[in-house]
Amino acid sequence: MTVPATATPILELRGVVAGYGETTVLRGVSAEVAAGGVLAILGANGAGKSTLLRVASGVLRPSSGSVLVDGVDVTRRKPGSRVRLGLCHIPDPRGIFPSLTVRENLLLQAPRRGGAARVGPVLATFPRLEQRLGQAAGTLSGGEQQMLAVARAYVQRPRVVLLDEVSMGLAPNLVDEIFGFLRTLAEQGVALVIVEQFVHRALAMADRVLVLARGRVGLSAAAGVVGEAEIFGAYAGVAGTGVAGTGVAGSNGNGVARAEPARGGARGARGARGSRR
């Protein structure tokens, strides 16, 4: 069954081929996320997850395929221009400025209009950061740095946040705290693309999951209907699972992983199964 399109995607990747120098990493990957949607990108080490986020944010230009924001082709636009469209990338490592203070990090790329006003609320969510406003970000603990990275994203008033392994190395209660905050963001209509190592966390958070296997879409499905065994099965890719000759597995029938909004009928998307080819 194909999941019907209910909202225009904010962010869309179409047939992205990308890599580094002579090495091709992504081989025709399509994905999209609408306002309030949460798309989890899963896959083995080296599958191309971080590369996908880099292409989305403009850090890496694809050799073919395209990136669209609100239906407008931004493939050739620089990262800074995409930030102004509301795209915020929290890379791995976290993309904070270690020699600047927590306060400076929060305000560095805050939009002139309404950016500073968001510092108070986010500090209320992460009081640990408030106690460390004057401290150099590089001296924060790993968990505190991750909080700062997420808080910075919030202050930038993003429409789409791309998160690369935000839970990496964090204690479970901290991960809960950060994921709880991200869920609130999604409920406010922010689209999330999360690269996540913990499959159960990804499934709990996301509307859709996309498994990358050797740079292709190994599986794309609604998060509510796909199990961990099926996901791990897709990690190896089509050839690895012995299902030869089926081409690119997964996708919602047209090769596109789609994350639906979190509000209203959005959670209903969990009931709709993304078809596997």
Ligand X SMILES: Nc1ncnc2c1ncn2[C@@H]1O[C@H](COP(=O)(O)OP(=O)(O)OP(=O)(O)O)[C@@H](O)[C@H]1O
Binding site for ligand X (CB under 6 A): 20, 23, 25, 43, 45-51
What does the alpha-carbon distance between residue 166 and residue 154 come to, in Å, rounded to a whole number? Answer: 14
What is the smallest separation between the CB atom of 132 and ligand X, expressed in angstroms?
28
Q: Which is nearer to ligand X, 196 or 260 (CB)?
A: 196
What is the smallest separation between the CB atom of 269 and Mg ion, expressed in angstroms?
26
Q: Which is nearer to Mg ion, 102 or 166 (CB)?
A: 166
Handedness of CA 197, 202, 207, 213 (dihedral sign): positive
Among 256, 188, 189, smallest CA distance to 220 is for 256
Binding partner at 23 among ligand X, Mg ion, none, C-beta below 5 to 8 Å by kind: ligand X
Q: Which stretch binds Mg ion (CB under 5 A): 1-9, 41-49, 141-149, 216-224?
A: 41-49
Among 7, 25, 92, 15, smallest CA distance to 251 is for 15
Render 170-190 in DSSP notation, one character per residue.
--HHHHHHHHHHHHHHHHTT-
| Cα 29 from chain centroid (whole Å) | 15
Binding partner at 30 among ligand X, Mg ion, none, C-beta below 5 to 8 Å by kind: none
* Amino acid (one-letter) located at 23: T
Size of the site for Mg ion (CB under 5 A): 2
Binding partner at 46 among ligand X, Mg ion, none, C-beta below 5 to 8 Å by kind: ligand X
| Joined tokens for residue 183 | 């869920």
Q: Which is nearer to ligand X, 54 or 276 (CB)?
A: 54
SS3 breakdown of the chain: % helix, strand, coil, rounded to 5? 35, 25, 40
* 57 is an interface residue for Mg ion by CB under 5 A: no
What is the smallest separation between the CB atom of 195 and ligand X, expressed in angstroms?
7
What is the smallest separation between the CB atom of 163 and Mg ion, expressed in angstroms?
11
* 50 is an interface residue for Mg ion by CB under 5 A: yes
Query: What H or E segment, with its residue span, contains residue 191?
Result: strand 191-195
Burial of 189 (C-beta count, 10 Å sphere; 0-12/13-18/19+) = middle
What is the smallest separation between the CB atom of 231 and ligand X, expressed in angstroms?
14
Residues of the shown chain interacting with Mg ion in the complex, contacts defined by CB under 5 A: 49-50
